[in-house]
């Protein structure tokens, strides 16, 4: 039986993994990317003046517990071990994040041991049964002082909303540790690609049966009949925004070149409300094996995403979820398309999860082709 042609919207990790898997299975694949480069949001590029590798759309650290994904991505490039560190400047003082024993002792000017600190934090935490909002969750985990210093202002700037309006689930991801030091992430595998993410995605797409069309926005109406489409662009864009726009936060990046070492760590958060940016990334610290005289830093500002802006973080509050239900229902009645990735499923996804879901989407497609069963438009429900 002749193989169905496959078109893919987006040359980020999701699109590239699916393209590679299907090309290796003998399919002819066309990948369309509206930007003039591959790798989507994890794109990295050398700055011509300093030769520092810049994480163009914000800092990206590879971390996972999925060993299959780890084996898969290393087929396309070399990774180096990397331990991420984040610090936070609050009221003119600098503290380590996430909140650890070091943060607690420095903040309270104390020398508590782990059990003493644990008991102290329990005494500070507010008794809130079943916290609903971000604020309630934080108050019930760490109490008012640490919440106000490290989370309240930062979260307001990041989401443009009071933490009282945000769901508790956002904070469930932030750990509290009663030990010193350690990495920002707790996954067993934490690494950085030796020459950046973009060469890795380029290597994935380097296959005789993959045709890449850069700087080409795919309009779903242009997809020929009897072609399967994988859509890693925004879910609402596929439907021409006919029910309205799903809410996103966008980011503005302000890059500057400085001398020497600007801040001594890869990422510095700023918890104070009167500092307009949320964090500063210093790119050369993402590659500690390289040495550079000058340095590039990026201030990151978060704001509501307009129609002309790049969507970054899905907001997923009550209004957005209602609209999402509407689009998911429309997708369920659409044939010949699979929605994938962070934009196609309107979820925040780390890179390892994107790769896992893309591998699973490719397998599901191949299985449906041989069994003749209908392929669901979503491998994982966005709801």
Catalytic residues: 173, 177, 249, 279, 300, 348, 350
CA distance 114 to 100: 10
Does residue 42 belong to the site contacting ligand FAD (CB under 6 A)?
yes
Of 86 and 141, which has the nearer Cβ to ligand FAD?
86
Asked if residue 251 lies in contact with residue 58, where contact means CB atoms within 8 angstroms, the answer is: yes
DSSP single-letter state for residue 148: I
Of 15 and 77, which has the nearer Cβ to ligand FAD?
15
The distance of Cα 309 from the centroid of its chain, to the nearest Å, equals 17
Of 13 and 170, which has the nearer Cβ to ligand FAD?
13
The nearest distance, CB 347 to ligand FAD, in angstroms, is 9
* The only residue of 6, 7, 30, 33 in contact with ligand FAD, by rule CB under 6 A: 33
Asked if residue 52 lies in contact with residue 283, where contact means CB atoms within 8 angstroms, the answer is: yes
* The only residue of 19, 20, 23, 41 in contact with ligand FAD, by rule CB under 6 A: 41
The nearest distance, CB 261 to ligand FAD, in angstroms, is 21
Count of C-beta atoms within a 10 Å radius of residue 55? 23
Helix (H) or strand (E) holding 101: helix 101-107
**Contact characters 323-362, ligand FAD, x per CB under 6 A:** ------------------xxx-----xxxx-x--------
The nearest distance, CB 162 to ligand FAD, in angstroms, is 22
Of 212 and 328, which has the nearer Cβ to ligand FAD?
212
User: Using CB under 6 A, which residues numbered 5 to 24 contact ligand FAD?
Assistant: 9-15
Asked if residue 362 lies in contact with residue 341, where contact means CB atoms within 8 angstroms, the answer is: no
CA distance 201 to 205: 6
Does residue 35 belong to the site contacting ligand FAD (CB under 6 A)?
yes
Does residue 34 belong to the site contacting ligand FAD (CB under 6 A)?
yes
Q: 3-class SS at 151?
A: helix
Does residue 178 belong to the site contacting ligand FAD (CB under 6 A)?
no
Does residue 193 belong to the site contacting ligand FAD (CB under 6 A)?
no
The nearest distance, CB 129 to ligand FAD, in angstroms, is 33
Strand ranges for the chain from DSSP E: 6-9, 29-32, 44-46, 53-55, 62-64, 79-81, 86-90, 93-97, 189-193, 210-213, 228-231, 248-259, 267-270, 279-282, 294-304, 313-314, 337-339
The count of chain residues that interact with ligand FAD, using the rule CB under 6 A, is 31
**Contact characters 220-239, ligand FAD, x per CB under 6 A:** ------------xx------
Does residue 295 belong to the site contacting ligand FAD (CB under 6 A)?
no
User: Using CB under 6 A, which residues numbered 244 to 263 contact ligand FAD?
Assistant: none
Of 259, 238, 225, 233, whose CA–CA distance to 342 is shortest? 233
Burial status of residue 78 (CB atoms within 10 A of its CB: 0-12, 13-18, 19 or more): exposed
Asked if residue 268 lies in contact with residue 89, where contact means CB atoms within 8 angstroms, the answer is: yes
Question: Which residues of the chain form contacts with ligand FAD (CB under 6 A)?
Answer: 9-15, 32-35, 40-42, 58-61, 217-218, 232-233, 312, 341-343, 349-352, 354
């Amino acid at each position: 039986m002749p193989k169905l042609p496959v078109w893919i919207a987006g040359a980020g990790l999701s699109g590239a993994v699916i393209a590679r898997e299907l090309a290796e299975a003998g399919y002819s694949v066309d990948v369309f990317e509206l930007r003039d480069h591959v790798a989507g949001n994890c794109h990295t590029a050398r700055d011509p003046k300093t030769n520092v590798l810049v994480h163009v759309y914000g800092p990206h650290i590879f971390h996972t517990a999925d060993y299959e994904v780890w084996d898969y991505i290393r087929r396309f490039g070399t990774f180096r071990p990397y331990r991420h560190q984040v610090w936070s400047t609050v009221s003119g003082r600098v503290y380590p994040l996430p909140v650890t024993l070091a943060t607690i002792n420095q903040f309270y000017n104390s020398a508590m041991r782990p059990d003493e600190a644990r008991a102290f934090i329990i005494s500070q935490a507010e008794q809130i049964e079943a916290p609903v909002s971000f604020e309630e969750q934080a108050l019930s985990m760490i109490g008012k002082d640490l919440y106000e210093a490290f989370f309240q202002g930062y979260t307001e700037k990041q989401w443009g909303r009071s933490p009282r309006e945000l769901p508790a689930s956002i904070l469930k991801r932030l750990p509290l540790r009663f030990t010193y030091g350690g990495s920002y992430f707790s996954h067993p595998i934490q690494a950085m690609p030796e020459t950046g993410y973009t060469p890795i995605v380029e290597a994935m797409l380097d296959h005789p049966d993959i045709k890449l069309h850069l700087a080409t926005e795919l309009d779903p109406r242009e997809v020929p009949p009897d072609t399967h489409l994988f859509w890693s662009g925004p879910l609402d864009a596929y439907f021409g925004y006919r029910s309205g726009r799903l809410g996103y936060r966008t980011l503005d990046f302000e890059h500057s070149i400085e001398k020497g070492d600007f801040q001594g760590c890869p990422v510095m958060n700023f918890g104070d409300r009167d500092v307009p940016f949320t964090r500063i990334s210093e790119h050369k610290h993402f590659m500690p094996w390289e040495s550079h005289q000058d340095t590039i830093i990026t201030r990151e500002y978060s704001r509501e995403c307009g129609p002309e802006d790049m969507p970054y973080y899905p907001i997923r509050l009550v209004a957005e979820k209602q609209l999402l239900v509407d689009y998911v229902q429309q997708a369920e009645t659409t044939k010949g398309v699979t929605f994938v990735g962070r934009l196609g499923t309107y979820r925040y996804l780390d890179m390892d999860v994107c790769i896992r879901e893309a591998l699973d989407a490719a397998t599901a497609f191949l299985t449906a082709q041989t069994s003749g069963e209908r392929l669901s438009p979503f491998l994982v429900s966005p709801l």
